[in-house]
Structure 1
Amino acid sequence: MTFADVLARAETTEEGRTIRVPETWHQGRTAYGGFSSALALAEAMRIGGDLPPPRSAQMAMMAPLHGEVEVRARVLRSGRNAIWVASEIFGDKGLGFTASFVFMRSVESTVAFDDCASPRGVLAPQDASVLSRERGATFLRHNFDVRFALPPSDERRPEMFWWVRPRDVEKLDPSVALLLTADALPPGVMRLLSPSVPVSTMHWQVNLLTPAPATREGWWLLRTAADYAKEGCSSQRMALWNVDGAPMLTGMQSIALFG
């Protein structure tokens, strides 16, 4: 079931909407983080009305979400140029996910620079090796095409570069589709861990760098890079570019390590 299908089958409640998380969107025992984030954004945009583009988001992933969940949203503040909207997702054990979104109109500014250049040495999508659909998390196998953006290397660095292409997102708002895709990589620190070590995202913050994200042939270049890990916590930086190397999104994430 595509993400657009999930939204189309949502049922309205007194406080929000209920949806059923398909098992094909699972990451372990919970909904994939990008799924929950995109669901929260879609609900924020639904209740917010005629909003400007989303430009920033903070997400807290507090408890597993599966089966039937309810998503709610409310406008926190409407300013001259920006609107803040909060979203929450409830599962069978109560509140499991919260998000705070900032929607902002473009304004005049004397400052303009870009220090988010795409990495060098990246293979083009057509030249990159393919991640087999028999490998990877459940949500990846069923909803995304993945290719390795860098040539194979024996160097163990807590960093990953993937080309990721979501399937069947034509009916989605481009910003919702971008957030749905942006969490597709495993945490960078997993390159240093045994595959049996569980990990879990705690917080995720992103900035959407353009009001109209776009790429060619559906491909996005994703990067995760851990810059700290100690005592069960890891901090990582994240970024996403389109095929032409234009930056679309930056972020950071806190990861819990259970081993």
Structure 2
Amino acid sequence: MPGDTTTHQQTFPAIGQIAADMRRVGERYELRGVDGWLQGRTMYGGASSFLAYAAARRAMPDLPPLRGAQIGFIAPIGTDLDITVSVLRQGKSVSQIQTDIHFEGALAHRGLWLFGSARPSNGSVAPGRCEGFLPYEDMDEVGSPEGLHFVRNLDIRRAEPEGGVPPGTLRRWVRIRDRAGLDPIGELVLIGDALPPGSIRMMERQGPISSINWSLTVLGDAPTTREGWWLLETSSNHMADGFSSETLRMWNADGVEVMRGLQSVAIFG
């Protein structure tokens, strides 16, 4: 991710504050003038997904922890958006919630959110650990590419170990500069889609890329890390015919996995 490494000043409202300021108008939540989170002509997918998650939390504050989500990036989203929240099913321990984001009157983003209360365990499997990673304290900063305005809200450092990572894989340390107003799970949703797909490293010529969907699973209900740093990785499982299947992984600063996802990506050019 080459670019200017001198831009550090936070010039936009914290996204936690943006979410707190969303207005309820009838059956929808309104957000107007959401600035600082665009990537080209659309909002960064982690930001739009976080705002949908925040709307669900606002509509139903007693929901249990988020366990997973399926997100469709249907159309570009600009700075003015409307969010609706609906209950698909609410059981004793599991609630399935749908969020829809409309931009300029058209459906642009749909989230299916799975919230689940903890119950007595019948066996256990510990989360995986990242082997051979390099601590964020030892890594150099990475600059912000042109056109990806949302990256100015992040601190990004290199994270690839000696010997590199497999082909079609990208790994970075990432931290949100202003974490005010973010709950731990909301922070993961916001940052989980921050890297370009790993397939960007296998492209034979430069061209646009676009995320189509994102399926994520949260590992645990109380993720923690040090100083806000998370280790992110995107890796192409298969790239052909203008599409890539990507695995997305996230670890905390100690190398404990906290989120895993799958994503379909369209590759142009």
Q: TM-score, normalised by structure 1?
A: 0.93
More strand per residue: 1
Q: Name segments (4+ residues, structure 1) moved above 6 Å.
A: 152-156
User: What CA distance in whole angstroms lies between the structure 1 residues aligned with 2:51 and 2:218?
Assistant: 16
Secondary structure of the residue aligned to 1:171 is: coil
1:56 to 1:134, Cα distance in 2 relative to 1, 3 A: closer
What's the CA shift for 1:8?
3.0
Counterpart of 2:182 (choices 172, 177, 192) is 172
User: What CA distance in whole angstroms lies between the structure 1 residues aligned with 2:265 and 2:131?
Assistant: 24
Which residue does the alignment assign to 1:123?
134
**2:112 equivalent to 1:100:** yes
1:155 to 1:244, Cα distance in 2 relative to 1, 3 A: closer
**2:224 equivalent to 1:192:** no
Structure-to-structure mapping, 1:223-238, within 5 angstroms: 223-238=233-248
What's the CA shift for 1:47?
1.2
What's the CA shift for 1:93?
4.8
What's the CA shift for 1:74?
1.2
What runs of 5+ residues in structure 1 fail to find an aligned partner?
none
Q: TM-score, normalised by structure 2?
A: 0.90
Q: What letter corresponds to residue 175 of structure 1 in structure 2?
A: I
- The answer on whether the counterparts of 1:54 and 1:211 sit within 8 Å (CA) in structure 2 is yes
CA RMSD of aligned residues (A): 1.9
% identity of equivalent residues:
35
What's the CA shift for 1:222?
0.4
Structure-to-structure mapping, 1:26-175, within 5 angstroms: 26-114=38-126, 116-120=128-132, 122-133=133-144, 137-141=148-152, 143-151=153-161, 157-175=167-185
1:10 to 1:195, Cα distance in 2 relative to 1, 3 A: farther
Residues 48-107 of structure 1 deviation map (CA, whole Å, 9 limit, x = unaligned): 231110000000001000021001111111111101110010001500000000110112
- The answer on whether the counterparts of 1:89 and 1:97 sit within 8 Å (CA) in structure 2 is yes
User: What CA distance in whole angstroms lies between the structure 1 residues aligned with 2:101 and 2:229?
Assistant: 29
User: What CA distance in whole angstroms lies between the structure 1 residues aligned with 2:145 and 2:206?
Assistant: 18
Counterpart of 1:257 (choices 254, 260, 267) is 267
Per mean C-alpha deviation after superposition, the further-off stretch among 153-162 and 72-81 is 153-162
What's the CA shift for 1:119?
3.2
User: What CA distance in whole angstroms lies between the structure 2 residues aligned with 1:130 and 1:191?
Assistant: 19
Which residue does the alignment assign to 2:4?
none
- The answer on whether the counterparts of 1:129 and 1:147 sit within 8 Å (CA) in structure 2 is yes
User: What CA distance in whole angstroms lies between the structure 2 residues aligned with 1:40 and 1:131?
Assistant: 29
- The answer on whether the counterparts of 2:127 and 2:258 sit within 8 Å (CA) in structure 1 is no
Counterpart of 1:13 (choices 22, 25, 32) is 25
